[in-house]
Structure 1
Amino acid sequence: MAETEVRKLPLTSATAASRNQSGYKVFGLNIPAWRSPLTQVILTGFVCFLCPGMFNALNGLGAGGQLDSSVTSNANSALYTTFAFFGFIAGTVLNYFGARTTLGFGGVGYALYSGSLLCYSHTKNAGFVIASGAILGVCAAFLWCAQGTVMMSYPTESEKGRYIGLFWGIFNMGAVIGSISPIVQNWNSASSGIVNDGTYVGFIVLMVAGAILAFFLVPPEQIVRKDGSRVAHVRHPSAITEVKGLYQTFISDYYIILLFPMFWASNWFYTYQQNGFNLYLFNLRGRAFNNIWYWLSQIFGAVVFGFILDNARLGSRKTRAWLGWGILFVIVNVIWGAGYVVLHRYPDGRQLEANALHKVQPVPPGIDVYDSRFAGYCILYLFYGFLDAMWQTYAYWLMGALSNDTRKLAYFAGFYKGIQSAGAAVVWRMDAVKYSFEALFGSSWGLCVAGMVFVLPVLYCKVQDTELTEADFVDDELEEMKS
């Protein structure tokens, strides 16, 4: 197996590393060194800014900027089905090819998917959209596994929460910027229609740029932290050895199963929020405007919650794990409770949605930004985004608190995205076959509560104040590395 313990540099090397970490001063501003963990996490953030960030902006409009949600719901179901499968092996692929290649390849699928929606606007070729969704699922599994490993393993233990918050802020700023384009290009449309071609073309160009940007990452063995330690050097063993490592992780760290409900819930609620709430209740202009606040609130939620989880003045890491759990549990129930009140203020959403598609009255409400009732609903949507960021931040921070082993964290990230995507595949299919909005809402709230409850034994038994080293997975793997 690859050597995964945290290694200190010799004095001379540590001094050089310190100089390297100090970065540069440009017009009085401190610019971090290119090979520093901070720069690499920021770069990874901008890759996700341009690829999944723009995808989120597009999906956040409801139905991918279209009006009929059935095609994009089926595409999302295909996306997350392949994502779920490849998520389990993405860690193996990452350990074999490295973060740079894995991240870059993953970004390509996002551009393809946006192109399929542009094509659908003119040809109504639903098959191409669904096939592109399935391909994107493969690409996204690789991208998110690479991202999770960089974000969790590059920073020191005391910096993980802040780095997660920083990444999440950059990533979601992509969705914010991406949401501005539909507003500018479609502001004069007060209808519930689709976005124009220029919006799709803009997304495609940005996503291609993100895939290219990934190839500017440096190998992990060249990264040196502020304290002089290096990120574990991950060699590329045989595929068989990697499968052994994946299996051994699942057996030795069996407690990871208790995090699966939290993983399952982590993308489930998007379907209700984007299609059952934003698409159904608002016209195109209102949906695009909501999107900006939804993703801005995610930046704020991630940064603030990441700071809390890393703040040593609040106690030991175990104490902060419990504190974070308590805060998240309260906010989950407060926000979904408010959503329950709003849900029962409008009639059978599915029937009205069907009437709209078949040009039968009455049509969905189509709340516009100038309507008096817009502000209240927009604020709720904002808090849905705030909750999402807190949920993802806590999940990543918790995984990072369980290990410092780069390869093990790659497997954890693969489990996370695989289970997350399996849940998303199910709920998007539920939306495609027109399950009621009440069912989508109730399952979202219930799964969030269940996910919180299941992690309690992990907090009690497995979160420690520090973990400097990790044992090898398989003894004979080490022999293979030596040979």
Structure 2
Amino acid sequence: MTTAQPDTAENELHAVAHLEMGTKRADDAWWRSPIAAAFVLGLCNFTAPGIWVAVNSLGGGGESSPHLVNAANALTFCLMIATAFLSPAITNKVGVNVALFLGGIGFAPYVGGLYANNVHGVRWVVVFGAATCGLSAGLFYALEAAVAISYPEKERLGLVLGIWMVWRVLGQAIGGAINLGLNATRAQAGAINPNVYIVFIALQCIGPLSAFLLPRPHQIRRRDGKEVTFYTPFRFGQELKETARVLVSKEFLLVIPLIVQGVFPESYNNTYMANHFTVRARALGSFVMALGCMVVAVILGWFLDAKKFSLRTRARASFAWVIGFRAALWTWALVINAHFPTREAVDWNSPYFGRTFALYVLIGTNFQENYMWLYFIMHYVAKTPQDAVRTASLLRAIESAAQAVAYGTSAIPQFKLIEQAGVNLAIWGAALLPTWLIVRRIGVDLNGPEEEGEKGVDGKEGAVVEEKGE
């Protein structure tokens, strides 16, 4: 009996320690869940790129003419191509939280440049702000996309994407509400009230700090018990080669036209709003479109997770809706721009307001649902968890290249809106077949990342910086 006592005492100590650990895990289980991470990721998005979207949704960045802002945005997206491509290697070096922080610090100078131009007529600051935004935003966008498709379980991917998307457009909704309150009496064309920019700048200065609230990959507790495999065991140069390997894979090449048609409409829609509507109508448009995007995000997220339908059915049905509806919208845009009813700025009390304003709202809403659906597709294109991170960075790089071209062409005054709508319809047509070739394989032989590690240059499996930031 006496010899058994030490073992019993030791077992009791282990039991107490295990109970305490279990209690601690229960206490922080939600905070380390993919859902909690989605809320934090959404908060980061709301206070940085969400406000950027809010400003651009005012039409031409809230300026009286959209051409300078379109040119600045083209510069932003050109710089984002490089930083998005480099994001997996950078994240491997500094960790998720620091990388997300660095990705968020460049947005405020851009809005500050818009304020300086609006109040003092200093145009070069807009270009400088666009450059700082581009250098950081590529890292932010690529990393948030990687987190959004890597952290959740497959059965809750739609929910996480929906939460993230709601937060993404919440910045636009709040920004639109603020702008609407400050400009409700301005029933004429022109620039927005400059006080709007001050509010936006304050929010964007706070935003990057929220990156440190995001749980690190090894801290995430999934329902299925599987660990998040996020970092890779490769050094910087080798990781770039691995990213390039994904870029030239058959599956990713087929998705590139879908990415391009997905993001190309943004510059058209913002230019359309700036050219044709009064200041207060533009503010209302930003607000209403954001509300529509929230509703769509919830509905689409629910459907993408609906277990009553097979993965194959969900992929094909969402393809038919998201892509099919876009064709109808571009047809409508061609008709509206061919016979726009007035040369005057359209206000909300105009007899032409309904049909012209609805086009803007619906294109913007479809843009966001296309955006969300694209991440669903990219999750199933990736074959390993590490490839999911690389796929997200390449997605953002291709998006940036497409938007650089879109905003660059929109900055040309001679490039009319009807021509821009025609180009968008042509790009949609070019993307139709390649997209279908991928969609028809989802739920058949494309079922998402396999839960397996990668071997680095030393033959070891795992991540080189899994404990980074501890």
TM-score of the aligned structures, taking structure 1 as reference length = 0.86
Cross-structure match for 2:468: none
Cross-structure match for 1:453: 433
State the structure with more CA Rg: 2
Match 1:325 to one of 305, 311, 319 = 319
Cross-structure match for 2:308: 313
Q: CA deviation at 1:57?
A: 1.1
Q: CA deviation at 1:334?
A: 2.1
> 8 Å contact 2:251–2:381 — kept in the other structure?
no
Cross-structure match for 1:423: 402
**How far apart are the structure 1 equivalents of 2:325 and 2:211?**
35
The answer to whether structure 1 residue 282 and structure 2 residue 277 are counterparts is yes
The answer to whether structure 1 residue 172 and structure 2 residue 208 are counterparts is no
Cross-structure match for 1:260: 256
**Identity across the alignment (%):** 22
**How far apart are the structure 2 equivalents of 1:261 and 1:67?**
33
> 8 Å contact 1:90–1:414 — kept in the other structure?
yes
Match 2:266 to one of 270, 280, 302 = 270
> 8 Å contact 1:74–1:432 — kept in the other structure?
yes
- Give the letter aligned to residue 198 of structure 1: N
Q: Name the SS for the 2:263 alignment partner.
A: coil
Instruction: Answer with 409-418 or 232-241: which moved more.
Output: 232-241
Change (3 A) 1:482 1:455: closer
Q: Name the SS for the 2:459 alignment partner.
A: helix
Q: CA deviation at 1:182?
A: 1.1
Q: CA deviation at 1:104?
A: 1.2
**How far apart are the structure 2 equivalents of 1:211 and 1:129?**
21
Match 1:437 to one of 417, 420, 423 = 417
Question: How many correspondences in the alignment?
Answer: 447
Change (3 A) 1:290 1:135: same
Cross-structure match for 1:355: none
| Deviation string, structure 1 residues 106-151 (Cα, Å, up to 9, x no partner) | 1111101001111112332222211221221121111111111111
Match 1:403 to one of 368, 373, 382 = 382
The answer to whether structure 1 residue 382 and structure 2 residue 376 are counterparts is no
**How far apart are the structure 1 equivalents of 2:209 and 2:63?**
28
Q: Name the SS for the 1:229 alignment partner.
A: coil
- Write the mapping of 1:178-193 to structure 2, written as runs, cut at 5 A: 178-193=175-190
Match 1:48 to one of 25, 45, 48 = 45
Match 2:208 to one of 206, 211, 215 = 211
Change (3 A) 1:226 1:482: closer
Match 2:132 to one of 126, 131, 135 = 135
RMSD over aligned CA atoms reads 2.6
**How far apart are the structure 2 equivalents of 1:482 and 1:329?**
38
| Deviation string, structure 1 residues 159-213 (Cα, Å, up to 9, x no partner) | 1112111110111111101111111112222221212231111000001111111
| Deviation string, structure 1 residues 338-366 (Cα, Å, up to 9, x no partner) | 2222222227xxxxxxxxxxxxxxx9421
> 8 Å contact 1:271–1:440 — kept in the other structure?
no
Unmatched 5+ residue regions in structure 2? 1-15, 465-470
TM-score of the aligned structures, taking structure 2 as reference length = 0.88
**How far apart are the structure 2 equivalents of 1:314 and 1:33?**
28
Q: Name the SS for the 2:221 alignment partner.
A: coil
Q: CA deviation at 1:17?
A: 9.3
**How far apart are the structure 1 equivalents of 2:22 and 2:243?**
35
Change (3 A) 1:13 1:76: farther
